[in-house]
A and B are shown apart, each in its own frame.
Chain A
Amino acid sequence: MFRTTSFALRPYRAGDETRLIALWQETFAGLVGYVERSATYWRWCILERPGVTAEDILIVEHRTQPVAYGVLGPGGQILEFVVQRKMRRGKRARVARELLDALEERARRRGHAAVEVQLPATDGTLARVLRRRGYLARHRDWLQWVIVDLAGLIERVLAHRAANLPSAWRRVFVLELESGHYRCVPYRCLRIETAPVRVQRDPSEASEAIQVKTDMSTLADLLFNRLSWRRAAAEKRIHVWPPGARADVRRLLRALRVTRPWYTPLADHR
């Protein structure tokens, strides 16, 4: 148990979710790739999940403020494990250890043969705590992705990041798409205007625009950081006309791609 009285461990109480969601959002603010935590999603994902009770949600409080929480799910999965980042490293490690002790004890009482959790590798403090306790760590990919609506994605991302683009950068691109490994592509051609952001599906005219020819698989690889521009160009998986506009196409792709570390907690696995 905690040596100081300022920390306390307790199970979930009705109404805690607002503060727990705020703690989640603060802790994982620098990461992407997970389902946004709203009260509706959290209640469904955690509280209403079969096999999870209020006693499986353990909260560490510091002077009545939650600083960490963990949720033990069915089968010994720790669905969410959150420890506030603002704390000093030593204190943070101690809080994590105490919370793990409590979650493991609960898992033992429920007859689970093992506990498992998914955390971002970028959190060195928690990685050290878990390795020292004998947790076996391995990189794991289990959620695969495919683009459904490329035009919608480009529109949203470009509009969101428009403020980061130079105001004088007004370009029109025409993207001609092959299917690659995709079974079908809903549109063969997209016209993209950068300022103001406008994406047109299968446009009727393509004159005076920068022409980009590629396929959906290559584009997905470029947006998801699986392929570098240099390699895509060297392997002739992307063609730009006029050749002098390559820098503009690179800038467009940089503005569209995933830029933050991608993380998926076990809770998002249904």
Chain B
Amino acid sequence: MNERGFSLKRRLLVTLLATISIVWLAAAAYSYFDSRHEISELLDAHLAQSASLIVSQTGDGLAEIDLEHAPQLHERGRRVAFQIWEQGKVLRMHSVNAPQQRLSARDDGFSDAVVDGKGWRVFSAWDGGRRYLVQVGERDETRREIAAAVAANLLVPLVLALPALGLFAWLSIVRTFAPLSHVSRELQERRPDNLAPLSTGGVPLEVAPLVASLNALFARVVRLIENERRFTADAAHELRTPLAALKTQAQVALDATADVERRHALDNVVAGCNRAARLVEQMLTLSRLEPDQFRGRSEPFDLPALARQTIAELAPGALAKGIDIEFEEGGSVALKGYPDLIGILMRNLIDNAVRYSDRGSTVHVRATTIDGNAELTVTDQGPGIPAPERAKVGQRFYRVLGTGESGSGLGLSIVNRIAELHGAKVSLGEAAQGRGLEVRILFPAHA
């Protein structure tokens, strides 16, 4: 297939007409050769018949003739010539169109000869007394003309019928392709924002899979756009409160008369910027993890090593808040996935745990193996999440109200997405001590 593509209709038409022409030409060629053979036999019979008639007419009368030119009775008589030779040597009688020399050297039966550069079919016969040799000849040319006329009779209709055939074939092709043209017209005339499925009614079997695939594609695009739109709307909505806080604090700072007041407001402006930045960061992280957009390369990773690394990063901040992070390791399982994302997952979990912990409490991180699967648990001693809310916290921007913390509401959404990409299972529960949240992530070993 070349790059510009081709027309099925044109290809079908050309193939159809070429096939018809070839078959027809083959038939004409066969007729030509077949009729030439049949005509030869027929004309040979005529030659033999003519010769025998002439032989039966030869008699003593010929002896008195010096040389007689037989009259030509009909214009077509020109095609057949005869000669009568006495003893095969002296020409006694001949038709007007016969040459002066012998038509054929043979003196018996059929032969092909060339006289004066012209081909002849000749029948030779002796009379009863072997005195006179009769030669009846016919020009080869004549025979070919007859066969050619027969073949031509076959070709003429083809030449006349081909355009008509082409026209009918084209009409029927157009009719056959109408459903396809209909689909393509429907697509062409669509507004770009029209993603409604194409109608499947009256679509032929051959086109149905195409329409079905297109509809599936439309559905996917609709889902993607809807997702995108919702995310943008959610994001804009979620940025409103941090922005309102920033603006208010900035206005307070502008209007402040006391340094302490201004300083407090400006500190809050900085804190608000940090919070907005974190929110934007989290939103970007989440949008990159959208199922239709994520393109990453899977590679092996070591869960306990990643956990240690993440804890090392987060420990200083936690210690500053008076919170301890404890790590417990119990065996390692070979896992495959996206180590960067696992790092993000752990950071979110541990960060959340630290965020909702009280001063003096401990966040417990454990990477173990259970039945050959890897498990990561992060446990805090914070307020936990009431059972009815646990299912909701994974939703985008859902926040447990009244916690006094201003998280992005995206942390667990991110954790859920990353776990999903690894085929891992996330479960929220109560910590063993009956206080705090325990997040458990079970990675299947072969992932």
Q: Do A and B come from one complex?
A: no
Q: Which residues of B contact A (CB under 8 A)?
A: none
Q: Which residues of A contact B (CB under 8 A)?
A: none
